Structure 1
Amino acid sequence: MARKAKRKIETVDLTGSDNERSASQQEKTPKRVADNQTRRTAALHDYSPHTYSQQHSEAERNTWLAEENDEDIDEIFQSLLDSANGSENLILYGTLDTKIVGVRYYEGYATPGEHIMVRREPENPYDSNAIRIVNVRGEQIGHIPRTVASKLAQYIDNRWLAIEGMLSGYIATFDCPLKLRLYGPSAIEQREEMIGRMERDKLPLEAIKQTKREEQKRLTEEQKKATAAKRRMPSSSQPEFSSSSQPGTQTVPDMADLIESSERFSPRDAGQAVEKFGNGEEYLAAMPQAETPDRISTKMLPYQKQALAWLLNQENPVLPPVGSTESTQLWKRSAKATNIFTNIATNFSIKGQEPGLASGGILADDMGLGKTLEMISLIVADLEKAPQGGGEMGATLIISPLSVMSNWSDQIARHVKKNQPLRVYRYHGAGRKPMKPAEFAEYDVVITTYQTLASDYLPKSTGQATPKSRPTGLYSVEWRRIILDEGHIIRNPSSKGAAAVTAVMAESRWVLTGTPIINSLRDLYSLLRFVGITGGLERLEIFNSVLVRPLKGGDSAGAVLLQAIMTTFCLRRRKEMSFVDLRLPELSEYVHRIKFLGVEREKYDALQAEAKGQLQTFKDQSGAKANQAYNHLLETLLRMRQVCNHWQLCGERVSKLMQMLESQKTIDLTPENRKALQDMLQVSIDSHEDCPVCLEALHVPVITHCAHVFGKDCITRVIETQHKCPMCRAKLEDEACLVEPANDIGDAERDDGSNIDLNASSSKLEALVSILQASKKQKGNKTIIFSQWTKFLDIVQARLDRDGFKYTRIDGTMTAPKRDAALHALESDTSCIIMLASLAVCSVGLNLIAANQVILSDSWWAPAIEDQAVDRVHRLGQKKKTTVFRLVMEDSIEERTLEIQKTKRELMMVAFREKSNKRTGGKSARLGDIQKLLE
């Protein structure tokens, strides 16, 4: 009997009651919480070390992690790389049309255009080259033909290619048409080798050949642009000075003169283009408003009441009604059968069940718009709906960085009526008691930190996560909701921090962040996975296939999907939007260019020549020698940046240690060597290097006794499995071979025994003091001076003492009480007109509206941190016009940094493009930037 052209068979639910929900979507029951937890657990299992090439069962993965000596260290390291980057930075080589055979055993509902996953089956007893095709829920559809599998198996096993696919036609009796996309390395030398290999195996190469033609054309255009970019703008002349420069010996300039000699700078114009990926301003302005909850004492602004209405709606999503053509969280009801739902992103369909929907989302309003108040109003509004104050509703768990933990309790006390307060408990510190669910239920809000949550997730007694509910602690409770403050902290989906928050049992899940995308679109993936997106996008390889790659390739379908995701899960309003009507005073940003003096230029030019030589050495070397050359290059680049601030900062800090490591693999962790390693670690921190395992910005940075820098989560994972350094194979017995920074912020210690003459000046210091002197003429001005280097702050501080300025200071070397005292002085002491501030400690979680002027003493190529620092001053509550000066040395690494920052803003905020070729531990992407800096 002939089969129908399109087979409609109900999907078998392998995850239990994953998708069962009440018809009204309004009930808040333990069942719904359990369903959400099932979905999150499945997502965590999916993000395994063999995500892309060697998918195994859960038991096999656990065995893999336990067998420390059965797999070579290269395999461990490479699999971690695959897991981290999801192969999103590979490029398309060709498309292979084939089919799936053996589909008669599949009981799922297959849809043309449905994205699928490719899985190797080396253990298959009938064919060791077998390649299985499964749907986004892991259910087997069938296999690809033996002849095709015999070619592709080696490419998967050796990680030469990443393979993605989709169903290209209807499923029939014995087979189903399939289109496979073959992605390979983008590095030129690897690419040519791959092309030769694929030509021998007669695999399609039409896409890579077209790419090569386009690259040649683009290269010609870029060379023309680079020539034009070398033109310089005129700068103000700088006075000569001596090392004993005395205050009061120069004419004090007017602020108007300084502004006239500076270049107007609008770094965030590119960021406004991101709005095309979300709801437009007209739509946002027309959003409905909710009533301010009775227990809220603060008068909420209209846009904040709009946010409250959106938050309440997001916690209670409803599937499209019968006959509707609309979608809910990318799920659409079939027009032909009311019991069939299709995900418009992945084309995955289910029949006879309701798809799981996420309760929550991403609140990504600009910093300073009142995200904290909006979330407090949500908590209160929800409690007011329940009988007798809502005690049975369950508590809200707030996760925040330690530095802003107290802000939540302060803001709750400030915004909630005194006679109807929320019951708030701070669960933090080594002395916290093991609380039971009934004890947590006595509170409306429980506040803790990411570190505390991670500690509960991985107890020191076992060092292993226990996903099941526990009798005490944060994982013993089914929370009403979980809120992640500064939620971009979990942007690395393979980190223990991301795993810890995802494993929490909560009915609703919220992310608060002003920067949902910092480096790449993968940042957004991690947040969406935490919130609970379904339909296949919770799997990284599917996310890459349907969203990242199309966007990177300029496919309009990717932009449409991104817009659908952003409008569904994310609310983002900017301060500049007319309906927000913050009435913030004007923000003016300037680049103030400064000329080197002769002696400074000589020192800078010598360092630049040295850096160019080291860059060439790195390109010519491989293995351990290449790593040593790269470390030397980083050190020299850092010294080039420091000489731009002050010629005394750029002493060689780690050369002796590098020479020692050239003769031996590891060093003993004596106090002297530990300090030298901390200095080397500081180079990577100051240079904003990536972790070579996860390829993201260093998270809890540490350095090994073989002098390689990693994020702590990543290297401890490698130590647990192999006890070898993934960079040089040196033995790493346990975490005792790791050295941490001098403090938790990453600021260099102020008293390090260096012989710096605090009375010596520099061109940039003189320019900075000129701005301060001009600013002092205007009564009421207060200035924040940001720098990445505490040593430079020391020099500035000494100059302020000599010139009679009253100031305060805040940096990562200070205790929390001292930081609080510094903030209080800036806010309440009218004679304290300056704050010296470490960029690291001030970029997150502080309110600095007491100041109205910002001086950025130094820059690096990741602009988000600088933007956040400025937004601590120019935010809700600011009453004065705000002026920002970026101090830039003419014809230096700093000028070229501005160009790189501009590019990164455009990539992140407009096209959401990724760094290219992260495969080599992030260095290839970084080398492109380094080459631009040294041009």
Structure 2
Amino acid sequence: MARRGQRQNGARRPAARQRARALDNEGIIPVLARAVREVETAVQRGRVDGSTRTKFQVVALLVREERQRLKADTELTESQRGEELKRLDGIATILAKTAARDTSMLALLAEDATMSDAARELKNEMLRAAGSEPEPEPEPEPEPDPLGVPATRRVVPVSVRQRQLSNPFLVPDFTVVPRYDGPRRLASWELLGPLFRSFEQGGASSSMTLPDPQPMRLPPGLELMKHQGELVASAADGHRTYLLADEPGLGKTAQALLAARAAEAYPLLVVVPNVVKTNWAREAALWTPERAVTVIHGDGHDIDGFADIVVVNYEILDRHVGWMSDHGFRGMVVDEAHFIKNKGSQRSQHVLHLSEKIRARAARPLLMALTGTPLINDIEDFQAIWEFLGWIDDKKPRRELMDKLEETGLTPADPAFYPAARARVIEMGIVRRRKVDVAADIPARRVADLPVELEGEMGRSIRAAERELARRLVERYDTALATRTSGKVVDGIDHELVRRVATWEREDTTTTSTGENVFGMMRRIGQAKAGLAADYTAQLARNVGKVVFFAKHVDVMDVAEETFERRGLKYSSIRGDQTPRTRQKNIDVFVNDPEVAVVVCSLTAAGVGLNLQVASNLVLAELSWTDAEQTQAIDRIHRIGQDTPVTAWRIIASQTVDTKIAELIDSKAGLAARALDGSDEEIGSSADIQLEALVAMLTEALEEREAAAA
């Protein structure tokens, strides 16, 4: 019996071993074992190709997943789990030895290593061979918008979709392929700073060499001035990037439209301030009537997606930047390009993104930045414009400009580098003409200051607030002086500390319990001057005809309009909250109706792009914070077609900070003159006028205290 039992047990043992071997050949581990041996053999023979590397990565990934599955499987006994993990360790050991032979494979073991499509497919094949069904691939998450535009804000007008469907195969233009950039002599130099400084140092007038005007076909009744024809001829000759910085009033819109026609740069994208959107459509219909133009309002549901010229304003660019990126534009014009000087702003990022997309699709697109005031406060205001034009990126010059700089044979360590670099940048496409040089028939202009006394309770209140602000500045100065830890001692007034205290005050934009900041003070001064400025405007209108009235704040405009109504003067109004149609209607009324004597304009809404030359007198009821804004307003009437001397009457509140602001605005006027016009005029600091006003106020208060103490 014992022997029979033994025979029976012995008979069962071979069958058990067979079942165990069968189990050993099931599942993913045998598949991995075969694959890892194939990888090991290939590496030993030195035949490591792409498929071998893919197999190595997939085996390593599946080993990890199987190890995690085994550790989490509660149905396995500890003995079974240990046996399976031991087999996986054997595979992992072969992987490690293989990677030691070819260390380039180690990168494939990293947790963040990317998997190719071939690797995913091989993984699925191995899982199916092991009797498992691969899990479905998760839906890919939509790529985040590079500009951070929410999906709910993006739109694609219906007619644009129709255009896309009619031409689905929009192929990039590779007719000009940039050559390889080899080692460069200037590669290790920081060049953007020196390039900007080269314009700060002055020099010859900033205008590239332009060819003589050529005969061209123009609509009946229209003609170009010589300076306009020169730029169009340049585009016809093949030049494609321009910073067109002609003084306001010299016809930049016509030059841009005709340059696009000469360059065949259609479809053409034109990005403009909202206030001039309608005017651009009118000008396009006037100068290039053979080209269809469409203007985008809001979501653009009513636009013509097949139009040759697409006009959009900065404020709604975020909704349309998606489809515009792939629309196939061959040209882009940015009007009032100083609007993009702040690279951190959304509108600047959208403009730069679109220009990059256009350059990627079209080999030589037409890119034009139009502005009569390219510098607002700093030479560095050039940077975003130059990036839009493709001359530089955010760190260095691009290939074409770098080639030109290399040709000089100079470095920023050589004094001669700066005038040479300036000349090379100008030839990239800077065009700057002054009225006095190219339009001698335009009458002269002058800015006349008209001091007014602020009387009554409001005047006394403003002067008291200024004294309180000066007292607060002195108190801050004294506190900073008393708590200074550096041990620095300065005889008399510490002007470095004065500037620091003024900076602190400027950054404190909230009204304190003891007084108000300089921003609120200037607004109150504007309110106090409103009635006086309106009275003077009414007198001018009675004596000289039509007058343009500019103000910064709505309440000042309201006071002016109430004054004109009491005086029986007809007026129209241009404000920021108007629709383009209403704004254009009000402009037309002022220009065409002889009974309308005054147009009341917002300095921000009407300070750019409008033609109000029917008037030759302008009243600035409030001061701007920049000379550029003031100049833009004046140039609404001082432009081509003006046949009368122009006077801008600047209303100044005497014995207030208003007078200091006016002086600072005038001192800032030299910045653009030096950078673009080759002027030798000395310029003041490029710091904000607000800061300079506070510095002057604190310095004056400290000087008065010292004089009293003496």
Name the TM-score, length of structure 1 as normaliser.
0.45
How far off is 1:917 after superposition?
10
How far off is 1:114 after superposition?
4.8
Please give the alpha-carbon distance, in whole angstroms, between the structure 1 residues aligned to 2:217 and 2:472. Answer: 62
Q: Of 621, 631, 654, which aligns to 2:510?
A: 631
Please give the alpha-carbon distance, in whole angstroms, between the structure 2 residues aligned to 1:765 and 1:782. Answer: 19
* Residue ranges of structure 2 left out of the alignment (5+ in a row): 1-113, 115-143, 145-179, 359-364, 481-499, 677-681, 701-710
| Aligned residue number for residue 456 of structure 1 | 320
Q: Of 580, 591, 607, which aligns to 2:449?
A: 591
1:882/1:911 CA distance change after superposition, 3 Å: closer
Q: Does 1:443 align with 2:307?
A: yes
How far off is 1:527 after superposition?
0.9
Please give the alpha-carbon distance, in whole angstroms, between the structure 1 residues aligned to 2:417 and 2:350. Answer: 33
| Aligned residue number for residue 254 of structure 2 | 373
| Aligned residue number for residue 606 of structure 1 | 464
| RMSD of aligned Cα (Å) | 4.2
Please give the alpha-carbon distance, in whole angstroms, between the structure 1 residues aligned to 2:307 and 2:540. Answer: 52
Mapping for residues 558-707 of structure 1, pairs under 5 Å = 558-577=418-437, 580-581=438-439, 583-597=441-455, 599=457, 601-616=459-474, 620=479, 629-632=508-511, 635-647=516-528
Q: Does 1:308 align with 2:72?
A: no
Please give the alpha-carbon distance, in whole angstroms, between the structure 2 residues aligned to 1:911 and 1:933. Answer: 29
Please give the alpha-carbon distance, in whole angstroms, between the structure 1 residues aligned to 2:219 and 2:445. Answer: 35
Is the 1:297–1:415 contact (alpha carbons within 8 Å) kept by the matching residues of 2? no
Q: Percent identity?
A: 21
| Aligned residue number for residue 396 of structure 2 | 537
Is the 1:277–1:559 contact (alpha carbons within 8 Å) kept by the matching residues of 2? no
1:272/1:787 CA distance change after superposition, 3 Å: farther
Q: Of 432, 453, 478, which aligns to 2:301?
A: 432
| Aligned residue number for residue 408 of structure 1 | 280
Please give the alpha-carbon distance, in whole angstroms, between the structure 1 residues aligned to 2:527 and 2:324. Answer: 49
How far off is 1:606 after superposition?
0.8
Residue type of the partner of 1:422?
A: R
| Aligned residue number for residue 859 of structure 1 | 623
Q: Of 206, 209, 212, which aligns to 1:288?
A: 212
1:626/1:785 CA distance change after superposition, 3 Å: closer
1:559/1:598 CA distance change after superposition, 3 Å: farther
| Aligned residue number for residue 520 of structure 1 | 378
SS in 1 for 2:510: helix
Is the 1:853–1:883 contact (alpha carbons within 8 Å) kept by the matching residues of 2? yes
How far off is 1:306 after superposition?
0.9
Is the 1:607–1:639 contact (alpha carbons within 8 Å) kept by the matching residues of 2? no
| Aligned residue number for residue 264 of structure 1 | none
Please give the alpha-carbon distance, in whole angstroms, between the structure 1 residues aligned to 2:644 and 2:548. Answer: 14
Name the TM-score, length of structure 2 as normaliser.
0.58
Residue type of the partner of 1:765?
A: G
SS in 1 for 2:468: helix
Residue type of the partner of 2:242?
A: G
How far off is 1:502 after superposition?
2.5
Residue type of the partner of 1:363?
A: L
Is the 2:541–2:597 contact (alpha carbons within 8 Å) kept by the matching residues of 1? no
1:300/1:510 CA distance change after superposition, 3 Å: same
1:553/1:814 CA distance change after superposition, 3 Å: farther
1:850/1:765 CA distance change after superposition, 3 Å: same
Please give the alpha-carbon distance, in whole angstroms, between the structure 2 residues aligned to 1:627 and 1:296. Answer: 55
Residue type of the partner of 1:397?
A: L
| Aligned residue number for residue 558 of structure 2 | 794
1:306/1:857 CA distance change after superposition, 3 Å: same
Residue type of the partner of 1:516?
A: P
1:791/1:453 CA distance change after superposition, 3 Å: closer
1:815-859 per-position Cα deviation (integer Å, ceiling 9, x unaligned): 433322321221122111112222111111211112221011121
1:516-537 per-position Cα deviation (integer Å, ceiling 9, x unaligned): 2222222211111111115973
1:632/1:565 CA distance change after superposition, 3 Å: same
How far off is 1:111 after superposition?
5.6
Aligned residues: 473
How far off is 1:592 after superposition?
1.3
Larger Rg: 2
Please give the alpha-carbon distance, in whole angstroms, between the structure 1 residues aligned to 2:461 and 2:416. Answer: 49
Is the 2:242–2:369 contact (alpha carbons within 8 Å) kept by the matching residues of 1? yes
How far off is 1:590 after superposition?
0.8
Mapping for residues 461-476 of structure 1, pairs under 5 Å = 473-476=323-326
Residue type of the partner of 2:348?
A: A
| Aligned residue number for residue 345 of structure 2 | 495
Is the 2:591–2:614 contact (alpha carbons within 8 Å) kept by the matching residues of 1? yes
| Aligned residue number for residue 292 of structure 2 | 423
Is the 1:786–1:856 contact (alpha carbons within 8 Å) kept by the matching residues of 2? yes
How far off is 1:297 after superposition?
6.2
Is the 1:482–1:509 contact (alpha carbons within 8 Å) kept by the matching residues of 2? yes
Please give the alpha-carbon distance, in whole angstroms, between the structure 2 residues aligned to 1:627 and 1:783. Answer: 35
1:626/1:527 CA distance change after superposition, 3 Å: closer
More strand by share: 1
SS in 2 for 1:483: strand
| Aligned residue number for residue 91 of structure 2 | none
How far off is 1:503 after superposition?
2.6
Please give the alpha-carbon distance, in whole angstroms, between the structure 2 residues aligned to 1:273 and 1:927. Answer: 24
1:617/1:455 CA distance change after superposition, 3 Å: farther
How far off is 1:291 after superposition?
2.0
Is the 2:537–2:549 contact (alpha carbons within 8 Å) kept by the matching residues of 1? no
1:621-659 per-position Cα deviation (integer Å, ceiling 9, x unaligned): 899x97995422794323432443444xxxxxxxxxxxx
Residue type of the partner of 2:468?
A: E
* Residue ranges of structure 1 left out of the alignment (5+ in a row): 1-58, 60-65, 67-106, 118-134, 137-163, 166-270, 316-358, 384-392, 459-472, 648-761
Q: Of 204, 212, 217, which aligns to 1:276?
A: 204
Residue type of the partner of 1:454?
A: D
Q: Of 355, 376, 382, which aligns to 2:263?
A: 382
1:224-268 per-position Cα deviation (integer Å, ceiling 9, x unaligned): xxxxxxxxxxxxxxxxxxxxxxxxxxxxxxxxxxxxxxxxxxxxx
1:111/1:914 CA distance change after superposition, 3 Å: farther
